[in-house]
Amino acid sequence: MDIVTRFINYIKINTTTNRKNGSLGIMPSNPNETKLAKLLESELKELGLTNIKRRDNAITTAVLPSNSSKKLPKIAFFAHLDTSAEQTNDTKAQIHKFNGGEICLNKELNIYLKDESLKNYIGDEIITTDGTSLLGADDKAAIASIMNAVKYFVDNPKIEHGDVTVCFVPDEEQGLRGAKALDINEIDADFGYCLDCCEIGELIYENWNAGNAEVTFNGVSAHPMNAKGNLINSLLLAHKFISMLPSGEAPEYTENKEGYFWVKELSGNSAQTILKLDIREFDEKKYHERMKFLNELTNSLKKLWGDERISIDLSHRYKNVFNYLKSEDATPIKLAKKAFKNLNITPKIKPMRGGYDGSVISEKGIPCPNLFTGAHNFHSIYEFLPVSSLKASSNTVIEIIKLAANLEK
């Protein structure tokens, strides 16, 4: 099976993450994630991998055993089964021979793909939808890439490699739930790679340190006719708190590695109001300073308003992968860059102003940069995947495994 056919087969299974089910703790949130996991389980068995395990929550793992007498690094590759919730329609894929200009996705609905980056793919084949759904290359291009790489080594048993673990997790698209549920003790790897970023050449090994704050403001309700001296409006207390946050340190004012406080949700009434904030910072020290600032601000307002008027709950969501890679000379980074060079792929190294499964997996003990899938416009009906980029993604996985065979421990 060629990689394009493999990808098309995977996107035919609608695995849109179900936020309602996820909020109820159901995993996988969409039963079709289990359907896709079962298909992958069957394909892994056909390929002859070992230690194949599909769990009730759809987390699926398998091992391509080492064929070397040397003690080589053990590598894991990760992808997620679900697609984002922006669109729930079934995917109707189209493959276009691109010769320039626009791509008509749906003539009847007058939907055209007009993207500046298309100019880089003249002469290529481009996979799109019919404009009524996501393509699902996030993250089924990754699954196809990994499975195609595994097949390459099965078909070429004389090419030396160490142990390679593949792992597919559910519900990345709602809080990295699958990665958080993963028992890392079941993954025997020295380091790993997620495949969950975009165009050809993207390599990510920095992302946010991410935290949450929930601030509760307790007022005193009163009827307006006798409110004077009695009413304490919790909504106004919340607004005073917000006004004390640093000016300009919000998502709409920041870029690159600039951190922020994001006032994300405010709900309540005069009696009680709850404020939810996201805290984001690349630098670990600055991240802890932001969390400390919120805690100290709350304590200061307790002294002003009284302990009963305000409380804060701070929690951590995920950490920066680079906290665990430590330096640019980390083995997984060096291998990825060398693979790019060998394949004549120009690296596009960028910090991710977000998180991915590798954020959680790295914290659990397997340092895990993020490799490109080749797709553009994730989470959009204009998502598209150049075939050459999909092949390059899989070739990168293959090249990393080959390069690791020169790193006897």
Q: Is 196 annotated as a binding residue?
A: yes
Tell me the residue length of the chain: 409
Token pair in block for residue 184: 């890392």
Q: Is 199 annotated as a binding residue?
A: no
The residue whose two tokens read 């404009």 is 131
Measure the CA–CA gap between 116 and 120, rounded to whole angstroms.
Answer: 9
Token pair in block for residue 386: 């150049």
- Find the DSSP H helices in 326-381: 331-342, 357-364
For 383, residues 6+ apart whose C-beta sits below 8 A from its C-beta are 128, 129, 134, 135, 136, 137, 138, 375, 376, 377
Q: Is 138 annotated as a binding residue?
A: yes
Is 155 one of the annotated active-site residues of the chain? no
Contact 67, 157 (CB under 8 A): yes
Q: Is 288 annotated as a binding residue?
A: no
For 6, residues 6+ apart whose C-beta sits below 8 A from its C-beta are 144, 147, 148
Name the residue type at position 222. Answer: A
**Helix crossing, 137-155 with 31-47: angle to 10°?**
10
Is 172 one of the annotated active-site residues of the chain? yes
Strands 191-197, 60-64: pairing is unpaired
Q: Is 2 annotated as a binding residue?
A: no
Token pair in block for residue 403: 């390069």
Q: Please tell me which residue in 33, 41, 82, 171 is annotated as part of the active site.
A: 82
Q: Please tell me which residue in 172, 281, 357, 363 is annotated as part of the active site.
A: 172
Annotated binding site for Zn(2+): 80, 138, 173, 196, 379
Annotated binding site: 80, 138, 173, 196, 379
What are the residue numbers of the active site? 82, 172
